Amino acid sequence: MKTYLTIALQAVEQAAKICQQVQAQLVEEDSLTKKDRSPVTVADFASQAIICKRLKEAFPEIDIVGEEDAQSLRQDENREVLNKIGQFLPDWSVDQILDSIDLGNGEPGALFWTLDPIDGTKGFLRKDQYAIALALLKDGQPVLGVLGCPNLPFNGQADRGTLMYAIKGEGAFTLPLGGGEAKQVHVSDNDPEDVVRFLESVEAGHANHSLQGRLMAHFGDRAKAVRFDSQVKYAVLARADADVYLRLPNSEKPDYREKIWDHAAGALIVQEAGGTVTDMFGKPLEFNHGKKLMANRGLVVTNGKLHQKIIELLNRG
Ligand SMILES: Nc1ncnc2c1ncn2[C@@H]1O[C@H](COP(=O)(O)OS(=O)(=O)O)[C@@H](OP(=O)(O)O)[C@H]1O
Ligand SMILES: [Mg+2]
C-alpha cells in the first residue's frame, strides 16, 4: 500500500500546484462577474490529466473513475479551452492532454481509483476552499484516500495548504502541501453536552440547510455552524476543528444520489481519524453500486461520540 500512497501523494501534489497557478492567473474579478466557468474547467481538466497520467504510468492495470472526460474538449468550439490547458502543461501535446484526461474513463471494479480533480468548483471560483480528491477502492471499500486542500491553512499558516491521507487500518495523517513531516490526526473528543461545531455545504442546492438548521437548533447556544466547500469539510473534521458534518438531501432534488468521488477519500480519512461516517439513517456507505452511492441517502459524519445522538434526532419520526 505504501507504493500506492507515494504515487497518489505525488500526483495530488502536482495537480494542486497547477490548480493554484490556474487560480492565481485566471480567476480574475471580471471572469467571476461574467460567470465565466473556464478557469475551473481549465484547472479541472489539467488536474485530471496530470493525476491520471501519473497513476497509469505506475499502475497500468488499475482503472480510474474520474469525474471529467475529454469529449467536449475534442470539439472545435472548445479549442480555446484546450489551448489554455496547454499553457499550464507546456511540454504536453494536445493528444497527450486529451488522452490523459480520458484515462479517467474507467469503470468501478474489484480494485479502482476514483478521482475528483477539483471538488468544490464554486469554491475554486471564489478563491475559497476546494479539494483534489483521490481514493483507491478495493472490494467496494476505500482503502487509501488523499485530499489536497490548497487553500486550507496548515497549522494556522495561511500561506501553506494542507494534504491529508489515510490508509485503511493505519490511521489518518496530515502534512503541508509542498512537503513536510506527516503527523497523525484524530477527531475531537466533544460529546453531545459540549459545544458542537457543525459543518455544511456552502451551496444551498447541495444539501438541506433548513433541516440542518433545525437539527442544530436542538443544541441551542452550543451549536456553531461553519460552511465550507468540498471535501475540505472531511479534512477539517478529521483534524478536530469540527465535530459534525451534515449533508441532508435537498428537498428539491429528491432523486440526487451522491457521487463516489465526492466522498470516498474524505470518508476514509475521517474514519481513520476515529470518526464515524454513515448516511442519514445510520447506514454505512456502500461504494459497490457503481459511480453513485445508490444505497445511501444523505450523509452524517461525526467524531463518533455525537453520532448516535444526531441519527436519533434525525429519525425520531
Ligand atoms: N443536489 C446535490 N446534492 C448533493 N451534492 C451535490 C448536488 N449537486 C451537486 N453536488 C455535488 O456537491 C459537490 C460540491 O461539494 P459541497 O456541496 O460539499 O461544496 S459546495 O456546496 O459546492 O461548496 C459537487 O462536486 P464538484 O462538482 O466536484 O464541485 C457535486 O458533485
Ligand atoms: Mg465533487
Question: ipTM of the predicted structure?
Answer: 0.95
The pLDDT of residue 317 is above 60: yes
41 Cα: distance to centroid of ligand 2 (angstroms): 13
Distances (CA, A) of 44 to 90, 138, 220, 253: 16, 25, 40, 25
Measured from the CB, is residue 129 less than 6 Å from ligand 1? no
Residue 57: closest CA among 103, 23, 121, 120: 103
74-85 residue pLDDT tens: 988 888 889 989
Of 140, 95, 82, the residue nearest 114 (C-alpha): 140
All three cell numbers of 304, joined, read 463518533
| Residue 253 CB–ligand 1 contact under 6 Å | yes
C-beta atoms surrounding 45 within 10 Å: 29
33 is catalytic: no
Given 44, 63, 102, 229, the catalytic residue: 44
pLDDT of residue 27: 63
Cβ atoms of residues 43 and 25 within 8 Å: no
123 lines ligand 1 (CB under 6 A): yes
List pLDDT tens digits, range 269-293.
999 999 999 999 999 999 999 999 9
pLDDT of residue 116: 98
118 is known to lie in a ligand binding site:
yes
263 CA distance to ligand 2 centroid (A)? Answer: 8
Angle ∠(118,96,40) on CA atoms, nearest 5: 25
CA distances from 188 to 273, 289, 303 (A): 9, 31, 6
Task: Output Rg (C-alpha) for the chain, integer angstroms.
Answer: 19
Distance (Å) of CA 87 to CA 46, 81, 91? 10, 10, 9
The number of the ligand 1 atom at minimal distance from the alpha carbon of 227 is 23
Residue 34 banded pLDDT, cuts 50, 70, 90:
very low
Tell me which amino acid residue 315 is: N
Considering only CA atoms, which residue is closest to atom 12 of ligand 1? 206
C-alpha separations of 260 from 86, 182, 195, 279, 286 in Å: 29, 26, 31, 13, 9
Q: How far apart, in Å, are the Cα atoms of 148 and each of 131, 204, 230?
A: 5, 24, 11
**Atom 6 in ligand 1: residue holding the nearest Cα:** 206
71 alpha carbon to ligand 1 midpoint, in Å?
Answer: 22
What domains are there in the chain, each with its CATH number? 2-185 (3.30.540.10), 196-314 (3.40.190.80)
Which residue out of 63, 102, 114, 121 is catalytically annotated?
121
Q: Per mean pLDDT, which range of 74-88, 101-115, 161-175 is the poorest?
A: 74-88
116 is annotated as contributing to ligand binding: yes
Q: Ligand 1 pocket, 13 CB below 6 A? A: no
| Angle separating helix axes 307-314 and 209-217, nearest 10 degrees | 120
Residue 38's pLDDT band (cuts 50, 70, 90) = low
Ligand nearest to the CA of 235: 1
Mean pLDDT of 157-161: 90
Which residue has the least CA distance to atom 13 on ligand 1? 120
Closest C-alpha to ligand 1, atom 15: 230
139 is in an annotated binding site: no
What interhelical angle do 79-88 and 94-102 show, nearest 10? Answer: 90
Does the model's pTM come out above 0.90? yes
What is the number of the ligand 1 atom nearest to the C-alpha of 229?
Answer: 23
pLDDT bracket for residue 65 (50, 70, 90): very high
**Would residue 189 show up in a list of annotated catalytic residues for this protein?**
no
- Ligand 1 pocket, residue 205 CB under 6 Å: yes
The verdict on the CB of residue 119 being under 6 Å from ligand 1 is: yes
Rounded distance from Cα 116 to ligand 2 centre (Å): 6
Reduced to 3 states (helix: H, G, I; strand: E, B; else coil), residue 227 is strand
Nearest CA to ligand 1 atom 16: 230
* Strand 183-185, strand 223-227: pairing: unpaired
